[in-house]
Amino acid sequence: MKKLALIVVMLLAVGLNSEACTNYLITKGASVDGSTMISYAADSHVLYGELYHWPAAKYAPGTMVNIYEWDTGKHLGQIEQALETYNVTGNMNEFQLAIGETTYGGRKELAKQDGAIMDYGSLIYTTLQRAKTAREAIKTIDYLMQTYGYYSSGESFSIADKNEVWIMELIGKGNYEKGAVWVAMRIPDGYVSGHANQARIMTFDYQEENKWDDPEAMVFNAKDVISFAKDNGFYEGKDKDFAFSEVYAPVDFSGARFCDIRVWSMFNKVTDGMDKYWEYAKGNIEHKEKAVKGKPLTKKNFASNRMPLWVKPNEKVSVKDMMNFMRDHLEGTELDMSKDFGAGPNAVPYRWRPLTWKVDGVQYCNERATATQQTAFSFVSQSRDWLPDEIGGIIWWGLDDASSTVYTPLYSSMTRAPKTFAQGNGALMEWSDNSAFWVFSQVANYAYTRYNLIHPEVEKLQSKFEAHFIKTVPAIDAAALKVLEQDRELALHILTSYSVDVADNLTMKWKKFYQYLFMKYHDGNMRIKKEVPEGYKYVNPDISYPGYSKEFYEKLVKETGDKLKVVGGDH
């Protein structure tokens, strides 16, 4: 048992340093309305949820821009500014280009590159200001890394425009060379994909030269993505057998159980046959031959029971489906955290960190479901090719835990951020009474106290708001489209006003909702307000005492024996 515990600790070493982000990717042919969609949860215990916004601008030649590491705020250096930058709202720009990410870490010897300037967050937001399409984004990311060096560890990017959806995986070259190696694969139309802190691209059709203008192109890659691995002793074998994720980020227990299980949960909802990958998702990795430390990896060392990179859904996916995918707690599986002893008397599907813990020297773990308490913000992007770019791009934005947030429609062309969502309105250790992040966090954290009682009310109101927004958006589209034909600035004003108003109004209503919940469930009771009858100054609310479930009381008696027994019969 001690040997097993040691192995688990070693396997977790890389995975525990990664944040628990999740991306789902939907192509045009796989969506209900023909839009492309990606989702993203920015999960971190130290990231504050806010909406970033950069207005479009023009710059003089030679202008420099400061780059700060997204995770820490550390100044990394300066790069040359583009002559023209585009309007960016959150993780989507005015041309309907959207980018999300998940960190997978990968080989430790490649995690640090002295003198590098571009970290993964800066790559996303700089690229959104400079690229119009997914292909341009891939080229821009490559240019920035090779020119200025890559500062972060291994990353997977979701990149979608109004026509195509790509997954791009990259890792720095450490101090071997400047820059990074990477491969990008286009998700076939009609299919869906996902990634969640584990590199996912296996073998691919290596391109000696990237054919950027070929509409049939399905793969782009760094020219040295394979040769770099061979030259530095990471891989030995035929080029056609080279698997990016297995060489640069070999999957282990944490990569499957804590990361790919989130991909499995979405795939399992949309297609058949995912039960055959359940053992893999639980962390049971199979290999033909175990890798030998210090020796290059070969094809025989790769995991043999990996999930596919993409699957074809049985039914087309809606934007509401995407929202619900982000709210998964492994319901319906043996790992549903609301069903075991750790859920307590109120069936809480969460476990507080640390992620792993020991009993009698044996290592155990909590689950990392898709919905998690430490989400700063999440989104679902929609890029719609049947509408002009000014109207077609919508980013459905949510603050805090995806399970209890309300995804709010923001047009990516909006020219200013809502006050309650805006960057600088509060911080992780700075309270703001009108910050959407803190308002949604209050509701979520209160629901955690008695989840089976409070969360159903959250879910009911959440669904009501989202259904209203989904129903309203086509009318806003139509109104803005009619105006756009005559006056672009006025159309942008309409879209901006709608986005700002709906976000700020929602925040204030959610604040009232928290007040209602707090009074109703105050002190472990459940109170229902009553109308004051004629002739009364006031009237007490109806009050009940929910107590705990039958199963909990039975466990309590089993644990305490006769200690709590009432003597002398029923009372």
Residue 308 is classified by DSSP as P
Q: Which of these, 371, 376, 272, 358, lies nearest to 323 by C-alpha position?
A: 371
Of all residues in the chain, the percent with pLDDT exceeding 90 is: 94
| pLDDT of 152 over the 70 cut | yes
- Distance between CA atoms of residues 365 and 350, nearest Å: 12
Q: What is the mean pLDDT of the segment spanning 113-118? A: 98
Report pLDDT digits (tens) over 405-435. 999 999 999 999 999 999 999 999 999 999 9
Q: CB under 8 Å to 165, separation ≥6 — which residues?
A: 25, 26, 27, 36, 38, 134, 158, 159, 186, 187, 193
Integer CA distances (angstroms), 39 to 68, 199, 396, 458, in order: 25, 17, 9, 21
User: What pLDDT, in 10s, does the model give residues 478-517?
Assistant: 999 999 999 999 999 999 999 999 999 999 999 999 999 9
How do residues 238-276 score in pLDDT, each as one tens digit? Answer: 999 999 999 999 999 999 999 999 999 999 999 999 999
- Quick one: pLDDT band at residue 93, thresholds 50, 70, 90? very high
pLDDT, position 570: 62
In sign, the C-alpha dihedral spanning 228, 233, 238, 244 is: negative
509-526 average pLDDT score: 96
Q: Within the chain, what is the greatest distance between any pair of CA atoms? A: 90
Tokens 């989904």 -> residue: 470
Q: What is the rounded distance in angstroms from the CA atom of residue 25 to the CA atom of residue 149? A: 28
List all residues 6 or more positions away from 465 whose beta carbon is below 8 Å from its beta carbon: 406, 506
Do 153 and 118 contact (CB within 8 A), yes or no? no
Q: 86-95, 444-453, 533-542: lowest mean pLDDT where?
A: 533-542
Would you place residue 569 in the very low, low, confident or very high pLDDT band (cuts 50, 70, 90)?
A: low
- pLDDT class of 20 with cuts at 50, 70, 90: confident
Strand order in the sheet with 408-411: 310-311, 192-195, 23-26, 36-43, 375-383, 393-399, 408-411
How large is the average pLDDT for residues 162-185? 98
Separation in Å, CA 324 to CA 173, 296, 320, 384: 37, 42, 6, 20
* Residues 8 and 22: beta-carbon distance below 8 Å: no
Distance from C-alpha of 413 to C-alpha of 56, rounded to nearest angstrom: 10
Average pLDDT for 18-23: 77
For tokens 């806003």, what's the residue? 476
Report yes or no: 491 and 479 within 8 Å, Cβ to Cβ. no
pLDDT at res. 486: 96
Cis bond before residue 354 (omega within 30° of 0): yes
pLDDT of residue 150: 98
For the cut 80, the answer to whether the pLDDT of residue 15 exceeds it is no
| Sign of torsion over alpha carbons 66, 69, 72, 74 | negative
In one letter, which amino acid is 527?
R
Start-to-end Cα distance in the chain:
49
Please give the structure tokens belonging to residue 393: 């791009």
By DSSP bridging, strand 310-311 and strand 356-359 are unpaired
pLDDT of residue 19: 60
The DSSP H or E segment spanning 142 is helix 134-148
Residue 264 CA to residue 313 CA, distance in Å, equals: 13
What pLDDT score does 2 carry? 35
Split at pLDDT 50, 70, 90, the class of 31 is: very high
Whether residue 44 is predicted with pLDDT greater than 90 in this model: the reply is yes
Average pLDDT, the chain: 95
Report d(CA 108, CA 241) in Å as an integer.
Answer: 23
Query: What is the rounded average pLDDT of the residues 99-113?
Result: 97
